[in-house]
Amino acid sequence: MVLRTTPFGESDLIVALFTAEHGRVSALARSARRSQRRFAGALGLLVLGRHELRARPRGDLWHLDSSSVVREWTALATDVAAVAHASYGVELVRELLPAEQPEPAALDLLVELHDALAAVGPSASVLRAFELRLLDLLGSAPSLDRCVGCGATDSLDFAGTVFDPGRGGLACPRCAPDGRGAGIRALPPPARAFLIAARDAGGLAAAAALDAEADAAHDRQVARDAVVGMILGLVGRPLRTIEFIAKMR
């Protein structure tokens, strides 16, 4: 899937791709801004493509000779929120996954996000499930079932439990004062329960059912702030799609 395109020269594009075989790569597509036939609409968002890449003889860029569409979700383009959610998934993959390290499960997850958007529409709960599964693939999933300090499992629903992104998840009331990093926040039991439900949902689309719990809106927001805070700590800078989704909300 295309992660980003950048104009280069008069007619070329530098294309950031996330591929099953090579992971995240950057490639030079000669005359891509002029040629409709060689790239066949496969260099946009909401598209899964097959791309003919040549290894670089020198320098940092691969060469992209042609592309074709394998699957597309371009019908989502009429829904601004759906495009924003899809773009958020793309930005997370671009910023969190290292270059040129194959991670086909992450590509499958990105495809599943697009399928979920087509099936159930934009959903905050789907995004939480996506975030948690992507973090798990990276080995950075937050600890929601045991304290990151002492390992306790029976004190996380007590008052004083916090989400500590710097230490990797929940800290019980006894260990919470040891946290010194940014983004530490209280995580009440209903918010923890929501994150666990999103994490354990049978699939991304299934997580959308969690949106129907109207009384849990505040808890979903608290959970969202905790996970997004952890992600921003890993990325090290603001993400444009998060800011855009916040403005829409």
Q: Give pLDDT, residue 214.
A: 65
Alpha carbon 201 to its chain's center: 17
Mean pLDDT by 10 residues, the chain (249 residues): 95 96 95 86 95 85 95 97 98 96 97 98 97 97 97 95 96 95 92 96 96 84 95 95 90
Residue 209 is predicted with a pLDDT of 95
Q: Could you give the dihedral angle defined by the CA atoms of residues 179, 180, 182 and 183, in that order, rounded to the nearest 10 degrees?
A: 20
The residue assigned the tokens 């045991």 is 146
pLDDT at 34: 85
Beta strands in the chain (DSSP E): 2-8, 12-19, 23-29, 47-54, 62-72, 162-164, 169-171, 185-186
pTM of the complete model beyond 0.85: yes
Q: Output DSSP code: residue 228.
A: H
Rounded to 5 degrees, φ, ψ at 8 are: -140, 120
pLDDT at 40: 86
Element (H, E) at 196: helix 189-200
Between CA 128 and CA 125 the distance in angstroms is 5
At residue 12, the pLDDT reads 95
- 110 backbone φψ class: left, alpha, beta (φ>0; ψ -120 to 50): alpha
pLDDT of residue 248: 86
**Going by DSSP bridges, is the β-strand pair 62-72/162-164 parallel, antiparallel, or unpaired?**
unpaired
How far apart CA 88 and CA 97 sit, in angstroms, is 14
Residue 6 to residue 139: CA distance in whole angstroms? 30
For the 1-72 domain, the top CATH level (class) is mainly beta
The residue ranges of every structural domain in the chain are 1-72, 78-249
CATH 1.20.1440.120 holds for 78-249? yes
